[in-house]
Amino acid sequence: MSREPQTLYLGTSGWAHRDWVGVLYPHDMPPTEYLTAYAQQFNSVEIEHTFFDMPTRQTVQSWQRRAPQGFVFSLCLPRRITHTQRLKDVQSLLEDFIETVGELGDTLGPILVQLPEDFRSVEQESLEAFLGLLPRHVAFALEFRHGSWVKDTTFALLEQHQVAWVVVDAPFLPCVPRVTAPFAYVRWHARPGYQTRRQMDPVAALRPWVPILHQLERQPSASMAMCTISSPAMRRVTVRRYGNS
């Protein structure tokens, strides 16, 4: 994945949200045109659908055809690999997925690996074996959801395989701004106690992240950063801000 130095990719989790109609998308816009309209405001998108179902080659090709130059897709690895198999005996599944999403060509960004909340560091052997399966020509980012992984040996393992540590704003893990790959990956899940949909200002909510992003940028190995708003409430108010601007 070749990118310009210090490039920031900002997007949300998904683009086909019904409550965006009338805000980002006109009421008479066909759903097939949503991605094109979305890409006029954001330069990346995270596709959570692939976490639940393996995409077809035809679907991936349709995404690629509608993406403008410079746009990036970040796809979630299927839960069958991460949650059902817990990273064990997954080489065939992984290869099938990589082959299918390879249809995205230059628009393929990092593949997001979301681990279960009960996947603890005692399972490091399974993780090490899985990381050894990852092809080097594809970028991967790993989101841990258990605090036992927050330690130097985890960062060293990810650095060894050039897999990004996902920096999160979430209740399940502290924010640890580390870069373990040629890029940084940030996900904003939002925490309990955030303001309501009507009250929340996305700019104010994300302002504390400005110095964190600068810190990530200053780390020498980071040539780009993927930032995804995955919280439904934050997605709504962010799109309302774009739609009204």
Mean pLDDT of 11-24: 91
Q: What residue spans define the domains of the chain?
A: 7-243
Q: For the chain, what percent of residues have pLDDT higher than 90?
A: 67
Confidence of residue 242 (pLDDT cuts 50, 70, 90): low
Q: Does domain 7-243 have CATH number 3.20.20.410?
A: yes
- Predicted confidence band of residue 132 (pLDDT cuts 50, 70, 90): very high
Q: Please, which pLDDT band fits residue 214 given cuts at 50, 70 and 90?
A: confident
pLDDT tens-digit profile of 54-63? 999 999 999 9
Residue 149 above 80 pLDDT? yes
What pLDDT is stored for residue 238 in this prediction? 66
198 pLDDT band, cuts 50/70/90, is very low
Q: What is the pLDDT of residues 73-125, one digit of tens each?
A: 999 999 999 999 999 999 999 999 999 999 999 999 999 999 999 999 999 99
Q: Ranked by mean pLDDT, which of 82-91, 163-172, 208-217 comes out on top?
A: 82-91
- 3 — pLDDT class (breaks 50, 70, 90): very low
Task: Enter the pTM of the model.
Answer: 0.88
Q: Residue by residue, what is the 3-state secondary structure of the chain?
A: CCCCCCEEEEEEECCCCHHHECCCECCCCCHHHHHHHHCCCCCEEEECHHHHCCCCHHHHHHHHHHCCCCCEEEEECCHHHHHHCCCCCCHHHHHHHHHHHHHHHHHECCEEEECCCCCCHHHHHHHHHHHCCCCCCCCEEEECCCHHHCCHHHHHHHHHHCCEEEEEEECCECCCCCCCCCCEEEEECCCCCCCCCCCCCHHHHHCCHHHHHHHHHHCCCCCEEEEEECCHHHHHHHHHHHHCC
pLDDT on residue 191 = 58
